[in-house]
Amino acid sequence: MDGIKGFGADRHIAKKIITLLYPEKALGVFSTPHFEHFASKLGLDPNLATRELFREDYESSTVGEKFEGFNHLFFKWRNEHAPEVDILALKAFLYTEFPVPAPETVPERAGVLGVTGLLFEPENEMGVVSMFSEYHHKLGFPFIVKIQNGFPDATVIDNEGQPVTIEFEHKASNFILHGHPSGICDLVVCWENDLGAQTIEPDILALKDRIKEIIRNRFREEASTE
């Protein structure tokens, strides 16, 4: 579904096409926030579906993967609790029993960074790539050689002039979740190291621990020149 261009951020038209073509596999809920609302009411964890289908955390999944994951999740719930209920009845039940609240004027987002070009904390892997590209020189990597689709994601040059291979992840645990082999890349660059005392190979660079320090140092430098 994500290969269908021009249908907007949530690709409602693409979802409607899929629902018409595969009525036994698509519930007919076209809004990701609506799916999230219904899942929370039924106590369903979308991470379970995206990890099972795509080996991705929910927040790191694409729009199409989230759509497929939610349909997988809700059809599984129906088969376990009400297998005799058809698709239309299930959809009607969800919207009747769990009315969707009116959207907030300002959407809930991750923590505010409030610096030029970076208003919010990264919410997915692409946000980590963008942030690293913005601050790579401050992080000790003066040159980016390449960023690619395959594993590992990037090659950079460090302050010693040595090449370093990088795998980007939103959270450090995703490196394990995605089944990446150890010993091939040199560094995991993520927003947050959520592994606690657990260690992995390669090393981890958590931007959450570094970016605010970089921002504070920049403000001190600017203040000292005034």
Pair 76, 128 in one domain:
no
Q: Rounded to an integer, what distance in angstroms lies between the CA atom of residue 72 and that of residue 222?
A: 52
pLDDT of 168? 95
Regarding predicted confidence, which is higher, 149 or 155? Answer: 155
pLDDT of 72? 92
Q: Which of 45, 72, 97 is the last residue of a domain?
A: 97
Regarding predicted confidence, which is higher, 183 or 156? Answer: 156
Query: Residue 189: helix, strand or coil by DSSP?
Result: strand
Q: Rounded to an integer, what distance in angstroms lies between the CA atom of residue 90 and that of residue 64?
A: 21
pLDDT of 7? 47
What is the mean predicted confidence (pLDDT) over 128-147? 92
> For 102-125, what is each residue's pLDDT tens digit?
765 445 555 655 554 567 788 899
Cβ-proximal residues to 132 (8 Å cutoff; 6+ apart), any chain? 139, 154, 166, 168, 189, 207
Identify the band that residue 153 occupies on the pLDDT scale cut at 50, 70 and 90: very high
Pair 25, 90 in one domain:
yes
pLDDT of 118? 63
Q: Rounded to an integer, what distance in angstroms lies between the CA atom of residue 58 and that of residue 219?
A: 35
Q: Which of 47, 73, 97 is the last residue of a domain?
A: 97
Most confident of 20-29, 52-61, 155-164: 155-164
Pair 157, 220 in one domain:
yes
Mean of the per-residue pLDDT values of the chain: 83
Pair 149, 175 in one domain:
yes
Identify the band that residue 5 occupies on the pLDDT scale cut at 50, 70 and 90: low
pLDDT of 190? 95
Pair 200, 128 in one domain:
yes
What is the mean predicted confidence (pLDDT) over 134-158? 93
pLDDT of 207? 93
Helix (H) or strand (E) holding 32: helix 32-42
The answer to whether residue 41 scores a pLDDT higher than 50 is yes
3 belongs to a structural domain = no
> For 62-106, what is each residue's pLDDT tens digit?
888 898 999 999 999 999 998 888 888 888 889 899 998 876 544
pLDDT of 181? 87
What is the mean predicted confidence (pLDDT) over 191-213? 88
Cβ-proximal residues to 66 (8 Å cutoff; 6+ apart), any chain? 32, 35, 46, 50, 58
180 belongs to a structural domain = yes
Number of folded domains that form the chain: 2
Q: Which domain holds residue 74?
A: 12-97
Q: Which residue has 């809004």 as its token pair?
A: 31
5 belongs to a structural domain = no
pLDDT of 214? 78
214 belongs to a structural domain = yes
53 belongs to a structural domain = yes
Regarding predicted confidence, which is higher, 118 or 19? Answer: 19
pLDDT of 100? 87
